[in-house]
Structure 1
């Protein structure tokens, strides 16, 4: 398993029903390699400068929203912006009157929150967890 610096990649998150099945599909059929594996909750596969984040039902990305809506595969797709300090960014954007779909969540890969654009599309702000240099 290799870990690529998040700022070096274009990142897309897909919600999936089964992380292991999704990893097998992308690595077997489409030339991706495993970049990070925290299955069954989450995994990341990479091909060139694209990192595909595969989030299962037990991942932080699959948790219900405050209003009870549950993210499901085939919806809730968004692009991700990596930030250095998610709490500071959220405070800055909230003070500007912007709308968030949820609060900051922590998961195996880091912290995230969903910002809504004026049309209701999602932008995920993400602060990666520190890399474990002991592996």
Structure 2
């Protein structure tokens, strides 16, 4: 393996809505656009694969189980000023799962993309 990119696949209900969300609100850029089935977006070393129901990743399993979005596993985006980012995203209509939580390593908050996949913003503690 030679790529410096780390890839994470998210199943989404609507690829176009997911691309718009990640590019407009979180600073990703489009790498591949095969809407409506698939697209991937990049931010730094993170490549986020957005797979819709028509993609190969969205096909039912042999037992009939259909893959779907959601859960608690999430991408983790480091920010310099979590309060400013939360205010900016709230002004854009983004709803959060909770308020900012503080811990020994820093501060974090979780929100969902349009399909219900969680995204975490994290501001490391000052060292």
TM range (shorter): 0.5 to 0.7
- Separation in 1, partners of 2:68, 2:18: 14
Provide the secondary structure at the position in 2 that maps to 1:8.
coil
Partner residue of 2:40? 44
* Pairwise CA distance, 1:62: 0.2
Q: Tell me whether 1:33 sits opposite 2:29 in the alignment.
A: yes
Q: Tell me whether 1:74 sits opposite 2:57 in the alignment.
A: no
RMSD of Structure 2 on Structure 1 (CA): 2.6
TM-score (norm 1): 0.51
Point out the structure with max Rg over C-alpha. Answer: 2
Structure 1: 5+ residue stretches without partners? 1-5, 79-135
TM-score (norm 2): 0.54
1:15-34 matched pairs, under 5 angstroms: 15-34=11-30
Q: How many pairs were matched up?
A: 75
Q: Kindly indicate whether structure 1 or structure 2 has the higher relative contact order, using CA contacts under 8 Å at least 6 residues apart.
A: 2
1:6-21 matched pairs, under 5 angstroms: 7-21=3-17
